[in-house]
Amino acid sequence: MSATTFGHKGLEAVQKKDWAGAISSLDKALESSNSPAWLLARAHASYQLKNYDASLHDAELAYHIAAERGSGNSRKLMIDAQYRRATICFKLGRYADSDCCAKWSMLLAEGRPAREDDGVERNVDEAGRYTVTYADGIADKKGQPGQESNPALATMTSTPRTGFESEWNRGYAWRSQALGALKGLAPEHPGWAVNVTKVPSKPQNKVKKVEPVEVDSDEEDIKVASASSEKDAKKPGPALGSVPDEKMKLRVDFYQTSTTVTVSLFVKDVKKDTLQVDFTRTQARIRPIPREAAPYVKSGDREATSTLALGGDIVPLGSRWSATPRKIELTLQKAAPGTKWGSWGEEKIGPESFHVADIEPPAASNVVSNENTKPEAAAAPAYPTSSKSGPKDWDKLGDDDDDEEEEGKSDVNFFFKQLYKGATPEQQRAMMKSFVESNGTALSTDWNDVKSRTVETIPPEGIEAKKWET
């Protein structure tokens, strides 16, 4: 087999948590090519097998090779190498070293120069003890990429996005563990000493054999860098049909109100900036989607697109989407308010099922691909109410702040609007469900209480509830 074949097998073994098998394949791959991605994968496997010396060797060698190559993926690999150093030092009881390496991974994620003399390792007192405290680490967020320290001065103080926001957060979270461990140490404990440098000494490239040992159940599952981005480690994506479509489908959850259906698709490493969502009356198309079952899928591949055949008709311009690194959420406006969908629909892999021919011009309100698009005004149902001012459209709560003073803060509707506006999405969902199902006689903010039951109508004392008959 070629080095790339062994490397591919090693990466797959790491994903399956077959640590010994991963090391066996990666040993063979690294005999021919010093791919930093393969080195980091082997470092991860050695770490899980508690062979920390071998893991540190590979992480530091990967850092040097990534820096020397200077390819488009080098910074990501250098960040991962520094973070791996942090986790290894922690396991070796070198907590000050662990914090230094985690901080260096964060600085790289911020886009700072790799060889910048930041002085992190010089934060020691006269006795040689590390002086950075747990409180210092928690407060150290000034360089967080993509954040604004003062929204009122966003143009002056905003920190640009670097594409490594998740790596920054990972390093920040690890620092709390390292600095937390230091708090309980005796002053003479060696964990206070700083023995690391930002650029480690380059180790010799040699394979270190390890024997499998029992793995800690609480070890973090760190995703290793993909070897596909390295010139000497490129592996073609899976051939069409090599990964069954059923295995690539996403985990989906949904809930509905009388006017909308909210569909949550759980997927890791979503890139919001490049994501595109298109709506038609009966479908939604989402691309590009990373697939765990097919890790080499790229934008434009068939496997990078999901076409959703929806469980009912929608108003495309009234529908919208949002995305986080782990979830895509679609809020679909029902074309027929008050109807109940039997299911959210079905996911199909690839763009072939998307009915492009059915798409009308935007003026016909049939296509939307902007997460910030607001729903068009529609005839929303009038929910039951006992308000003297008549039915309220609860879907618009919080949108009419300018009229609050005119209504008067003594109005009970003002209280409900404030309660809904300040609630979490889960609480808002509970409020909607309880209010609609109880015919306006009950309002709950506890989703765990109402999610699995129908909220009964509880009329005021002296009033009898009757079902509406057509």
Domain-embedded: residue 442 = yes
Domain-embedded: residue 452 = yes
* Cβ atoms of 59 and 85 closer than 8 Å: yes
Domain-embedded: residue 239 = no
Sheet holding 260-266, edge to edge: 251-256, 260-266, 327-333, 320-324
Tell me how many domains the chain contains.
3
- Domain check: are 415 and 458 in the same one? yes
CATH number at residue 264: 2.60.40.790
Output the pLDDT for position 456.
80
Concatenating the DSSP letter of every residue in 393-461 gives -GGGTTS-GGGHHHH-TTSHHHHHHHHHHTS-HHHHHHHHHHHHHTTTS-----HHHHTTSPPPP-PPT
Which residue range forms the structural domain that includes residue 176? Answer: 3-210
Q: pLDDT tens digits, residue range 163-199?
A: 888 899 999 999 999 999 998 889 899 999 999 999 9
- Domain check: are 114 and 197 in the same one? yes
Q: Is this structure's pTM higher than 0.75?
A: no
Out of 329, 364, 399, a domain closes at 364
pLDDT above 50 for 378: no
Confidence of residue 106 (pLDDT cuts 50, 70, 90): very high
- Domain check: are 349 and 387 in the same one? no
- Domain check: are 70 and 122 in the same one? yes
468: its two tokens: 């509406």
**DSSP H/E element including 58:** helix 52-69
Q: pLDDT tens digits, residue range 45-97?
A: 999 999 999 999 999 999 998 888 876 788 999 999 999 999 999 999 999 99
- Domain check: are 453 and 311 in the same one? no
pLDDT above 60 for 426: yes
* Cβ atoms of 117 and 213 closer than 8 Å: no
Domain-embedded: residue 231 = no
- Domain check: are 176 and 267 in the same one? no
Domain-embedded: residue 217 = no
Domain-embedded: residue 371 = no
Domain-embedded: residue 238 = no
Domain-embedded: residue 236 = no
Confidence of residue 107 (pLDDT cuts 50, 70, 90): very high
